[in-house]
Structure 1
Amino acid sequence: MQFDKAEELCKKTLEIHRVHSEPASLEEAADRRLMALICEAKGDYESALEHLVLASMAMIANGQDNEVASIDVSIGNIYMSLCRFDEAIFSYQKALTVFKSAKGENHPSVASVFVRLADLYHRTGKLRESKSYCENALRIYSKPVPGTTAEEIAGGLTEVSAVFESVDEPEEALKLLSRAMKLLEDKPGQQSTIAGIEARMGVMYYMIGRYEDSRNSFESAVAKLRASGERKSAFFGVVLNQMGLACVQLFKIDEAAELFEEARGILEQECGPCHQDTLGVYSNLAATYDAMGRVGDAIEILEYVLKLREEKLGIANPDFEDEKRRLAELLKEAGKTRDRKAKSLENLIDPSSKRTKKEGTKRWPGLGFRI
């Protein structure tokens, strides 16, 4: 995920192609696709688009129709990110025509484009068209052509579930994720992928108020991530944080505190103290300590967070005033006997993690599957 370093190396590679390779070589096209991926990850969509167009021209010159179609899908994705929806539709439809002709009507590549069109039409408010494309994709995944792997079907079902999640149908999304997980259960090397699916299911269970199921899904995901050696990744830290929030809803405050503490250590290391995910964990941990009666620890964390915001992030963020108010309350009430538990639980979910039905997954840092 070191995109600046990746970009630097890729620029050197493209310079070597410019000096030593034949014009429009397949090797240069492959490296331009890599550079497009890097640029997209950095949010530089215009540059990504430029590299994809050049890669497409090279593939056309070499008669690589299927590769051209794959690049058209990537170009459509960039147009989506730029909200240039008509151009995105054109790119997707071009790819769809080629895939249907070359691979057949029921190939997973066709289904994958259907999913992208479903997402596009959802974003533009055309829900009937969106649902129709989802149904077309699911029809293919239900009766795949020979040679389709379980991994391809599971990946497709996961993509379709994201669209159902976006249109506020979490129960349908959960069914699809459950099907995807079952397909991968006996496949070697898929534990991290299954953990990611379980984490998404944990988020959706939380959305619909099934907190015990949410906690159990996160717990299973955490166990798999620990076993697969990802216990120091930022994603692991975010999953721990979300599991902690589920524990809060179940009044398992001690367990929540342990999870928030572990998440804090990981996210400080991987993302730094000023990252939004890390700040969210700080806030959750402070509120948890408050609920446990550890007022001094809660005050210490909130003072640290406010200092970070004042010195490095600025105070325009709406969370600043909320944290300042919470700190003032703690300082005022420190040392007094009170029933802290019920009052403190109101603050246990960081404002940036609070969800409403309308917001969907947008406010869940690191676990939204929405890009």
Structure 2
Amino acid sequence: MELREKILEGRQTTLGNEDPRTLYAMQILARSYRYLGRYQRAMELLGQALEKSQRSLGSKDPGLLSIMHGLATCYRNLGRHQEAMKLLEQVLEARQRTLGSEHPDTLLAMTNLAVSYDDIGRQQEAMGLMEKTLEATQRTLGSEHPDTLGAMYNLALSYSRLGRHQEANELSKKALEARQRILGSEHPHTLDSTKLVAYCNKN
């Protein structure tokens, strides 16, 4: 962490606050704070980076969209769900327009927006996005890619929350079987699927 702080300070001194390399260093430092659970500090850094990048980068710039995506993650972890949702809607729209609907970065934004919708009770919309994400990952990555299995798990969870228990049960079992085979029975994602299958079996 100390090294990344020094790198940022050095770039601010030599390159200025709005140089893309300085903004990237701010993102890397903010990501480190996020991993440590220091979301408030990460949010402050990304807020500064967003303000500066809006002046120096175009609205479609991948760096700007990455900053917005990271800031939305901080907002969500801090319980600021409406702000997270609004940022993710902007990111998804821009990435669909510039990268296409099946680019990995677009699908990541779609997944996180679905989770954000779920946070504020817009569960039907969350489910619709999760269905689109699963369709796209199956088509582009294959049915047993880890990202596809993650999308499958998310959709099964969404079905369960909406009372669509048979669909949730079938999909969660399919995800669990594949995760056990590919990731192993002790992998955290496999354990998540195991818990979801157990929950679905009760309903």
TM-score of the aligned structures, taking structure 1 as reference length: 0.48
Q: Over alpha carbons, which structure has the higher Rg?
A: 1
Change (3 A) 1:191 1:180: closer
Deviations 1:195-239 (A, max 9, x none): 333222222222322221111111101111121242111221111
Give the equivalent residue in structure 2 for 1:65. Answer: none
Give the equivalent residue in structure 2 for 1:185. Answer: 58
Deviations 1:337-368 (A, max 9, x none): xxxxxxxxxxxxxxxxxxxxxxxxxxxxxxxx
1:296 and 2:169 equivalent?
A: no
How many corresponding residue pairs? 196
Give the equivalent residue in structure 1 for 2:66. Answer: 196
Kept in 2, the 8 Å contact 1:264–1:281? The answer is yes
Kept in 1, the 8 Å contact 2:16–2:22? The answer is no
1:134 and 2:8 equivalent?
A: yes
1:220 and 2:116 equivalent?
A: no
1:157 and 2:23 equivalent?
A: yes
Give the equivalent residue in structure 1 for 2:81. Answer: 211
Deviations 1:27-61 (A, max 9, x none): xxxxxxxxxxxxxxxxxxxxxxxxxxxxxxxxxxx
Kept in 1, the 8 Å contact 2:123–2:162? The answer is yes
One-letter code of the match for 1:254? Q
Question: What does 1:310-325 correspond to in 2, within 5 Å?
Answer: 310-325=180-195
Kept in 2, the 8 Å contact 1:233–1:266? The answer is no
1:193 CA displacement:
4.0
CA distance in 2, matches of 1:249, 1:182: 31
1:310 CA displacement:
4.1
Give the equivalent residue in structure 1 for 2:199. Answer: 329
One-letter code of the match for 2:47? K
1:173 and 2:39 equivalent?
A: no
Higher helix share: 2
Change (3 A) 1:194 1:161: closer
Kept in 2, the 8 Å contact 1:234–1:270? The answer is no
Deviations 1:126-173 (A, max 9, x none): x3x643442232233437xxxxxx7xx134213223213314321332
Question: Where does the alignment leave 5 or more consecutive residues of structure 2 unmatched?
Answer: none
Moved over 6 A (4+): none
1:254 and 2:127 equivalent?
A: no
Kept in 2, the 8 Å contact 1:287–1:298? The answer is yes
1:309 CA displacement:
2.8
TM-score of the aligned structures, taking structure 2 as reference length: 0.83
Higher relative contact order (CA 8 A, sep 6+): 2
Question: What does 1:64-79 correspond to in 2, within 5 Å?
Answer: none
One-letter code of the match for 1:172? E
State, as a whole percentage, how many aligned pairs show the same letter: 19
1:286 and 2:156 equivalent?
A: yes
